[in-house]
Amino acid sequence: MSLPTLDFSLILPELVVLITALLVLIADLLWPRAASRGREQAPAVLALAGLILAGLLTLLAGEWSGATLQGMLVADALARYLNLVVLLAAALGLLLSWSYLPHFSTQRSEYYALYLLAVAGMLFLGKSIELITLFVSLEILSIALYVLTGFHRGQLAGGEAALKYFLLGAFSSGFLLYGAALFYAATGATRLADIAAQNAGGFYMLAGLALFLVGLGFKLAVAPFHMWAPDAYQGAPTPVTAFMSVGTKAAALVALFRVVQAAGSVPVGVWATALAFLSLLTMTLGNLAALRQSSLKRMLAYSSIAHAGYLLVGVVAGTAAGFDAVLFYLFAYAFMNIGAFAIASLLERPGFYAVQDAGIHAADGLFGRRPWLAVAMAMFMLSLAGIPPLAGFFGKLYLFAAAVESGWAWLAVAGVLNSVISAYYYLRVVVGMFMAEPSASAHLRLPLPASATLAVALTALGTLLFGLLATPWFQGISR
Amino acid sequence: MTSADYLPILILILIAAPFAGIAILLPSVLGPKNPNRMKQEAIESGMIPFADARRRFPVQYYMVAVLFIIFDIEVIFLFPWAVSLNQLKIFGLIEMGVFLGILLIGYLYVWKKGAFEWE
Amino acid sequence: MPLLFAALALIALVGAAGVLLSRNPVYSALSLLLNFVAFAVMYVMLSAQFLGVVQIIVYAGAIVVLFLFVVMLIGGNLPALGRGRRAYVRAAGVILAALFLLALLFGLARPLPNGLAAVGAPDGGSVQALGLALYVDHIVPFELASILLLTAMLGGIVLARRYQAPPKD
């Protein structure tokens, strides 16, 4: 019997992230008192170094040609762009955590180890082309995120958020697993390539795909499976929210894309129509609910749900151009969304036992207090609303154009109408920052930690550059 | 191995189960009964009971249970590995070494953090 | 064989009914144990020996223990837990169970799909066959499983330890 040879160079970035997570734990065991000797940021430094190294390895690896590790993990162009999006979101979220975490927790090694494990899970999920690998990767990222959501143990809302996220997430994992079992029942294969080659039709594939849509829809926070998202996003520490709202979406979208491609025997019209209605429902519900929020973070949570709807438009289109648009939008979304959450985290008042959420008026009069911060926030809001020449505009342009090209004009129109609705609540924040007086409860001096400032500067720069240089970037992705 | 090889186990169960059942039922039928109040109290090592026995357990029991499950699943992976090791050879040894090594780090972490100690 | 299967099916049904009908959650957990054991024997009868062993060691051994621990963690007046459940919760449960039954009957009424038809090899479920499938073919998810277990371990410790607020500066 022949034993396989494994080419680990295909998953080098993932291995770097994993080993960094283990190193963070080992360092905590070897030097338990490092924190009291002024080295309390050592785990953060280590984690950031690991993420940057993984990013460099992804960039420098040249073309990812689609070679696979035993047909389980694939290194293709899609996985490469996903790696870049997730690592970017993770690095930005880590910069936010740097100054935010010490306010409420002393368990830094645990935080960063779980954070890196979640990143590793996302990276593996994006490379999975086999059902068991896909499920295990999804569970790694989910379990790490459940714990990170409830990481602020002194705060009741954090525990509630983690519990809701966990219960509904575990439930949705069951759906996904059932879908995988039906795929196996229909084809006797677990590798997506084999499943596609079998071309088995019929009830089992259809039911399996439907269950997959439900399971991944939960992770993507697609309506009507979005019920956990507002609470989880609001109750989680803001840097975690920023990271997971981008990273989980990106990884789950890539998995969804791979699965619908494999279920080729199910008529395209069936799943595309189902996804189109989910997309319509998601953006409409997300935007309408966001209009009525009194907390800035919760408003951004609903905005994040709406954006899951926009992103689905690209999957519905079903073409290569559609998914290229999704990848472009994910980059744009990583910058503008994490930027917005970064400013929300700066406006919060992290207290001893509970973090006081930034209300919808917390940003009022920000221009008078911190002009550059207000300008950056205005950029994020305008970009999220989809106003040119920022990144979000071009992201939506490519998405909706791809939808029109493949005959989904009504969905594109719905997306545009939704963007108009969303402009109301995004612009309300902008108007407040420049026109309104600061609310009485706003503290006079807004502290600006260096790491968070760097994150805001980077995201603002990204939002602007991805807008101004959208065409060359997009051509780079679709090549 | 077919399911017919499990026949002795079935026979054993068929003998053992009635045996245990009779051993439990017989005293309650034959034994003398003379209940009084003191006898019916719950016994707490000779102490007079002072509270309901069904009270909340400390969360440490839960930690023990979770760790038990995790290591239980880890051990389950060892059975098929041990049976097929003569075919897997050094390859199998290395892959199980990696698997156990990762969990060993977790084990050391749990140990160092005092999850096995009773506060 | 059919007789043995019928006996096991009856035991499994009694166990499942016991889970639902017991007023005391501890009895529910013990009924679940009965159900699990009956299923373990059925797996062995279907020549899925390893699955039978897993069913005993992990499900009957560890999962039921965890259920009992959780019941005791909640503590208090246990029999009262089941009472006061709202009618619509019961109705939802009945409807979901009926749907599941329909789906199962629907599946049974149809011819076996290709994938499952190929699985019925006589020794496919033996421990050795599984070992080779797991450690040669599925080495990637196997190693990832250790990462998953590590994550769960870490998460359990983080959430169950006493919360220490950072010192105020």
Residue C19 has pLDDT above 80, yes or no: yes
Contact A199, A211 (CB under 8 A): no
Q: Given pLDDT bands bounded at 50, 70 and 90, which one contains residue A356?
A: low
For position A357, what pLDDT does the model report? 67
At a CB cut-off of 8 Å and minimum separation 6, what does A247 contact? A85, A86, A89, A90, A93, A118, A119, A122, A141
What are the distances in angstroms from CA C46 to CA A94, B4, C1, C51, C129?
Answer: 51, 11, 11, 10, 15
Give the DSSP letter of residue B57: P
Mean pLDDT of B93-110: 93
Task: Determine the 3-state secondary structure of A463 from DSSP.
Answer: helix
**Over pLDDT 70: what percentage of chain A?**
94
> How many cross-chain Cβ pairs, B to C, lie less than 8 Å apart?
141
Rounded to the nearest angstrom, the gap between the alpha carbon of residue B56 and the centroid of all alpha carbons in its chain is: 21
How confident is the model at residue A444, as a pLDDT? 57
**Poorest-confidence range of A79-88, A167-176, A351-360, A467-476?**
A351-360
Are C10 and C47 in the same domain? yes
What was the pLDDT predicted at A156? 82
Q: For A1, which of B87, B102, B105 is closest by C-beta distance?
A: B87
The pLDDT value given to residue A34: 66
pLDDT tens digits along A152-182:
887 888 889 999 999 999 999 999 999 999 8
pLDDT at residue C168 tops 90: no
Question: A28: which chain B residues are within 8 Å (Cβ-Cβ)?
Answer: 109
Residue of C nearest to B51 (CA): C76
Q: Using CA atoms, how far apart are residues A197 and A306, in angstroms rounded to an integer?
A: 35
CB-based contact C139 A189, cutoff 8 Å: no
Quick one: C81 exposed, middle or buried, by C-beta within 10 A (0-12, 13-18, 19+)?
middle
Extract the tokens encoding A233. Answer: 């996003």
Cβ distance C148 to A72 less than 8 Å, yes or no, reads: no
Tell me the C-alpha distance between B91 and A1, whole Å. Answer: 12
Partnered with residue A73 across adjacent β-strands are A69, A128
Residue B112 distance to chain A (closest CA, Å):
7
A110 and C154: CB-CB below 8 Å?
A: yes
C16 and C58 in a single domain? The answer is yes
Burial letters A4-17, b for 16+ CB under 10 A, else e: eebeeebbbbbbbb
Residue C118 lies in a domain: yes
- The yes-or-no verdict on residue B1 having pLDDT over 90 is no
Confidence of residue A271 (pLDDT cuts 50, 70, 90): confident
Q: Are A200 and C113 in contact (CB under 8 A)?
A: yes
User: Among candidates B102, B108, B101, C154, which has minimal Cα distance to A144?
Assistant: C154
**Residues of chain C with C-beta less than 8 angstroms from the C-beta of B64:** 69
CB within 8 Å: B98 and C78 = no
* pLDDT (0 to 100) of residue A416: 94
- State whether C70 and B79 contact (CB < 8 Å): no
Phi, psi of A97 (to 5 degrees): -65, -35
Residue of A nearest to C161 (CA): A153
For residue C95, the model assigns a pLDDT of: 92
SS3 breakdown of chain A: % helix, strand, coil, rounded to 5? 75, 5, 20
Higher pLDDT, C36 or B41: C36
Instruction: Kindly state the average pLDDT of the residues A222-250.
Output: 92
Q: Is A312:A282 a contact under the CB 8 Å cutoff?
A: yes
pLDDT confidence bin for A247, thresholds 50/70/90: very high
C54 CA: distance to closest CA in chain B (Å)? 7
pLDDT tens digit string along A377-394?
999 999 999 988 899 999
Q: Nearest Cα to C159, choosing from A241, A148, B118, B67?
A: A148
For chain A, which residues make up each domain, given as ranges? 277-479
Contact B109 A25 (CB under 8 A): yes
Of A1, A3, A29, the CB nearest to B108: A29
pLDDT score recorded for residue A354: 53
Q: Cβ separation of C151 and A202 shorter than 8 Å?
A: no
Q: Which two tokens stand for residue A16?
A: 């770097």
A190 and A132 Cβ atoms separated by less than 8 Å: yes
List all residues 6 or more positions away from C163 whose beta carbon is below 8 Å from its beta carbon: A153, A154
Under the banding of pLDDT at 50, 70 and 90, the label for residue C87 is: confident
8 Å CB contact of A32 and B102: no
Residues in B closer than 8 angstroms to A25, CB to CB, are 105-106, 109
Domain assignment present for residue C168? The answer is no
The CATH number covering residue C14 comes to 1.20.120.1200
List the end-to-end C-alpha distance of chain A, in Å, as a whole number.
41
Q: What is the pLDDT of residues B75-86, one digit of tens each?
A: 899 989 998 888
A 10 A CB-CB count for A420 gives 11
Closest CA to A307 of A385, A232, A417, A252: A385
Please check whether residue C111 lies inside any domain of the structure: yes
Same domain, residue pair C71 and C93: yes
Flag whether the ipTM exceeds 0.90: yes
Q: Is the pLDDT of residue A300 over 60?
A: yes
How far apart, in whole angstroms, are the C-alpha atoms of residue A457 and residue A92?
10
**A106 vs C118, C140, C166: nearest CB:** C166
Residues in CB range of C130: below 8 A, 6 or more apart: B80, C50
- For B108, name the nearest residue in chain A, comparing CA atoms only: A29
A-B contacts (CB, under 8 Å): 15
Number of folded domains in chain C? 2
Comparing CB atoms, the residue among B68, B92, B105 nearest residue C65 is: B68
DSSP symbol at A151: -
Query: Looking at residue A479, what is its pLDDT?
Result: 65
Alpha carbon of B67 to those of A196, B111, C66: distances in Å? 39, 11, 10
Q: How confident is the model at residue A440 (pLDDT cuts 50, 70, 90)?
A: low
The two tokens of residue A413 are 């129109």
Of A114, A133, A143, the CB nearest to C144: A133
- B-chain residues near C58 (CB < 8 A): 69, 72-73, 76
Residue A261: exposed, middle, or buried by beta-carbon count in 10 A (0-12, 13-18, 19+)? middle
Q: Are residues C113 and C147 in the same domain?
A: no
Residue C79 domain-assigned (yes or no): yes
Q: Which is higher by pLDDT, B76 or B34?
A: B76
Of A33-42, A169-178, C127-136, least confident by mean pLDDT is: A33-42
Asked if residue A224 has a cis previous peptide bond (ω within 30° of 0), the answer is yes
Does residue C75 have a pLDDT over 70?
no
CB contact under 8 A, C163 and A153: yes
Q: What DSSP string runs through chain C? A: -HHHHHHHHHHHHHHHHHHHH-SSHHHHHHHHHHHHHHHHHHHHHTT-HHHHHHIIIIIIIIIHHHHHHHHHHH-S-GGGGGTT--HHHHHHHHHHHHHHHHHHHHHHHSPPPHHHHHHT-TTTTSHHHHHHIIIIITHHHHHHHHHHHHHHHHHHHHHHSPP-PPPP-
Q: Residue B47: beta bridge partners? A: B44
Q: Which single residue is written with the structure tokens 């054991």?
A: C37
Band (B34; pLDDT cuts 50, 70, 90): confident
Q: What would the two tokens of residue A274 be?
A: 């189902």
User: Would an 8 Å CB–CB cutoff place B91 in contact with chain A?
Assistant: yes
Question: pLDDT tens for residues B39-98?
Answer: 777 665 666 666 666 666 777 777 888 888 899 999 899 989 998 888 888 888 999 999
| Unique residue bearing structure tokens 């609705």 | A421
Contacts of A147 in chain C (CB under 8 A): 154-155, 158-159
Assess whether pLDDT exceeds 90 at residue A141.
Answer: yes
Q: Which residues of A touch B (CB under 8 A)?
A: 1, 3, 22, 25-26, 28-29, 32
Q: State residue A308's pLDDT score.
A: 95
A9-13, A287-291, A353-357: range with lowest mean pLDDT: A353-357
Q: Taking 70 as the threshold, does the pLDDT of residue C139 lie above it?
A: yes
CATH assignment of B3-112, among 3.90.650.10, 1.20.58.1610, 3.40.50.920, 1.10.8.100: 1.20.58.1610
* Rounded Cα gap, residues A269 and A203, in angstroms: 15
Chain B residues within an 8 Å CB radius of C152: 66, 70
Cis amide linkage into residue A389, ω under 30° from 0 = yes
Q: Are residues A133 and C140 in contact, defined by beta-carbon separation less than 8 angstroms?
A: yes
Q: Look at A47-56, A78-87, A265-274 and tell me which has the smallest mean pLDDT.
A: A265-274
* Rounded distance between C-alpha atoms, residue C152 and residue C157, angstroms: 9
Domains of chain B, by residue range, sit at 3-112
Bridge partner list, A359: A295
Strands (DSSP E) found in A12-93: 67-69, 73-75
Indicate if the alpha-carbon torsion angle C43, C49, C55, C61 is positive or negative: positive
**Interface contact flag, A3 B108, Cβ < 8 Å:** no
Set of chain C residues whose Cβ sits within 8 Å of the Cβ of A204: 113, 115
Question: Which residues, in sequence order, are bridge partners of residue A130?
Answer: A191
* Interface contact C138-A124, CB threshold 8 A: no
Residue C6 domain flag = yes
Task: State which H helix or E strand residue A378 sits in.
Answer: helix A371-385
For residue A190, is pLDDT > 80?
yes
Measuring CA to CA, how many Å separate B106 from each of A122, B103, C148, C150?
A: 21, 5, 11, 6
Neighbours of chain A (3+ CB pairs under 8 A): B, C
Same domain (yes/no): C139, C100: no
Cβ contact, residue pair A29, B89, below 8 Å: no
Question: Do residue C19 and residue C58 come from a single domain?
Answer: yes
pLDDT at B15: 92
Please tell me the predicted confidence (pLDDT) of residue B53: 62
Which backbone phi and psi does A431 adopt, to 5 degrees?
-60, -45
Buried b (16+ CB within 10 A) or exposed e, B21-39: eeeeeeeeeeeeeeeeeee
Q: Work out the mean pLDDT of chain A and round it to a whole number.
A: 88
Residue B24 token pair: 């439990």
Are residues C35 and C57 both part of a single domain? Answer: yes
**Looking at residues A9-21, what average pLDDT do you find?**
93
Burial label for A218, CB within 10 Å (0-12, 13-18, 19+), is buried
Q: Name the pLDDT band for A146 (thresholds 50, 70, 90).
A: very high
Give per-residue pLDDT as tens, A42-56. 889 999 999 999 999
| Chains linked to B by 3 or more Cβ pairs within 8 Å | A, C
